[in-house]
Structure 1
């Protein structure tokens, strides 16, 4: 996907209103592709906010990046520019969509179809990415603290709090950016959120080995070939030998 610059790429998004498509393209700093389902060029695919079916379709296409619609001033212009320049696949979603669909499974299916993820590695990559997205959503963008609860008596209260937090547009429209690329025999998957971050050194392994929660970082370390946490805890990069 590497080219001479970001202007080699065009923005397409037939399911968005024309004015909104133009607004997003301007915010991303990229030209619009010609209208129609067979637009030419290497595309950045736009999808309407919350459009899970459009995301699935885009992940199975050959587009260079996917950006979910978001309020003005929230779109990932800098991250997109860097990804396009480096030849990385970027999928930028709102917190609400990243949480409400099976994002890890769909992202890995897209990587598999693109030839970036071998089938033999998929289970480990999908499980690790699932844990990373949970962390990015709950502890990052939604700033809920704690972890998914093991006690059924507390689960209803947790779900109610989660629903209320997702109803806050300032948090629900924060971005979760997923990017992927292969280098030096490794598939790298990067997950970034817009939360307050954390000190990864302060996280201790779960005391109960059977616990259903509190083991996200441990699972990611065990299932991947490498885990790097940067940007003050807001970015995790997983590596898998391919």
Structure 2
């Protein structure tokens, strides 16, 4: 495949997904990661996309400082599919944790009429559920304006005061070899704090994140109880996770 053809597919994929990893592009283009990196450098130099650690994103997202609304809109159909499955796991009267992930945020639309309590560090989740049947408990602490979430020691201490039936968390990367990984220490520490206080942890993860590794490895697969992903997950990957003992819904 020549550069012009690769260029077209790369830009199309970035436009559709918002952001993409080098490994995903290498699989899509049936070429080496080195070739993909070289292509991304050339496309970034032309102003057609923005290079990130390990991949690329749409220029509009990069210039808007990763606005939460953009992240929530990326792969929206996949995220909604995952969240519909997740909502079916929630029972009336449950206390649940919801982290600040963009996939977890999209769970709000499917739980608005449930008589449950949500404990969250996400400001968008609070705003979305304020006019619903849900009782909302906002974690206290320092506000991260970029992520629109509360992080830090005080937030973790707040979480430690509560016990939840279920937790719904996102993750930046997950692999059978390395476990869970994140782009930020803040989000990793919140995930650990939530998991310690929950009877059953659900990981909401669209299929593009399966078998990807990010900046910070922070926990083994045993941190969560159930992995919920979308129907586009590759059958061989699903099978590998199930053989590894992961309870998976898709």
Q: TM-score, normalised by structure 1?
A: 0.30
Q: TM-score, normalised by structure 2?
A: 0.29
Structure with the bigger RCO (C-alpha within 8 Å, sep 6+) is: 1
